[in-house]
Amino acid sequence: MRKTIDILGVPVDSITMSEAVAKIDSFMNESGVHAIFTPNAEIMMAAQRDPELKEILSNADMLTADGAGVVLASKLLGRSVPEKVSGIDLVQNIFKTCASKGLRLFLFGAKPGVAQEAAEKIKAANPGIVIAGCRDGYFTPDQESDIVNTINLSCADLLLVALGAPKQEKWIARNKNVLNVKVCIGVGGAINVLSGRVQLSPDFFRRNGLEWLHRLYKEPRRAKRMMDLPRFMIRVMWEKFTGR
Ligand code: UDP
């Protein structure tokens, strides 16, 4: 049974990292395509403005709390999630399952060449893992069915879609019915990180919920988007005190 917490109308799973990994492992033995997203405060706010995105998130098979903002929001609402389960940490844990069980991985997204670089790093860190294929994330609408065919022909079990939000969520929702993978995960900038081209924030920032501060320093062009973090906290406080 899924245990979710309603945060501004989005049902976030109350789940630990190890439970999330076990659940994904069980999805691999079920029929159908399972969609997993890892919303952070920016995505939660985007969902308030975009009913289509909210609907897609609400229909996902798993939503994990990616980021200190979502974890804090759950605490403020008195329905605390057990821990942060970020997309990058989640996929790195699932790679171990893929390697031990012979599950096939497809990397879709990021600039040309980056997914291949990520694949090499993933293979080095997870001996035995099978990379079924890679595809960059830049395409025209008429190329979309070819991309789906390529993914299906690769016989991938796990598909990582790294097109940024909300593009990846919408791509997965649009193509879920024609894909024959077991699990799709929207992973934002994770392929950049896996390739080594982008570094995660240092541990101190990650452990203390200050990743946003480090990211703002490294990528000041994100400042406008990052205003969604305080907006999100204000919305959560409003919900807490007014019940609306
Ligand atoms: N991207 C892509 N296709 C697009 C737009 C973006 O593949 O049409 C990729 C981009 O190259 C980057 C990722 O999507 O690798 C988005 O990264 P970002 O860190 O902005 O994502 P977030 O995690 O913040 O959603």
Q: What are phi and psi of 199, to 5 degrees?
A: -95, 145
pTM, two decimal places: 0.95
Domain count, the chain: 1
Domain that holds residue 54: 4-242
- 93 CA to middle of ligand 1, Å? 21
Say how far apart CA 76 and CA 70 lie, in whole Å.
10
- 39 CA to middle of ligand 1, Å? 14
Atom 18 of ligand 1 has which residue's CA nearest to it? 189
Angle, helices 228-242 vs 41-49, to 10°: value is 70
* Mutational test site, ligand 1, from 89, 192, 200, max ligand atoms within 8 Å of CB: 192
Helix (H, G, I), strand (E, B) or coil at 35: strand
236 touches ligand 1 (CB under 6 Å): no
Atom 20 of ligand 1 has which residue's CA nearest to it? 164
Helix (H, G, I), strand (E, B) or coil at 3: coil
For residue 160, give the DSSP letter. E
Q: What is the pLDDT of residue 168?
A: 98
Token pair 């079990």 is found at 157
Task: Give the closest residue to 169 by CA, choosing from 83, 67, 42.
Answer: 42
The Cβ of residue 194 has, within 10 Å, a number of other Cβ atoms equal to: 27
Residue 218 belongs to what H/E stretch? helix 211-218
- 49 CA to middle of ligand 1, Å? 20
Those residues of the chain that have pLDDT short of 50 are none
- 164 CA to middle of ligand 1, Å? 4
Say how far apart CA 117 and CA 191 lie, in whole Å.
9
Q: What are phi and psi of 83, to 5 degrees?
A: -165, 170
218 touches ligand 1 (CB under 6 Å): no
* Mutational test site, ligand 1, from 86, 163, 198, 212, max ligand atoms within 8 Å of CB: 163
Q: What is the pLDDT of residue 211?
A: 87
109 touches ligand 1 (CB under 6 Å): yes
CA distances from 63 to 29, 37, 130, 173, 226 (A): 19, 5, 26, 14, 21
The string over 153-166, giving b where at least 16 C-beta atoms fall within 10 Å of a residue's C-beta and e elsewhere, is: ebebbbbbbbbebb
Distance in angstroms between the alpha carbons of the first and the last residue of the chain? 27
Atom 1 of ligand 1 has which residue's CA nearest to it? 163
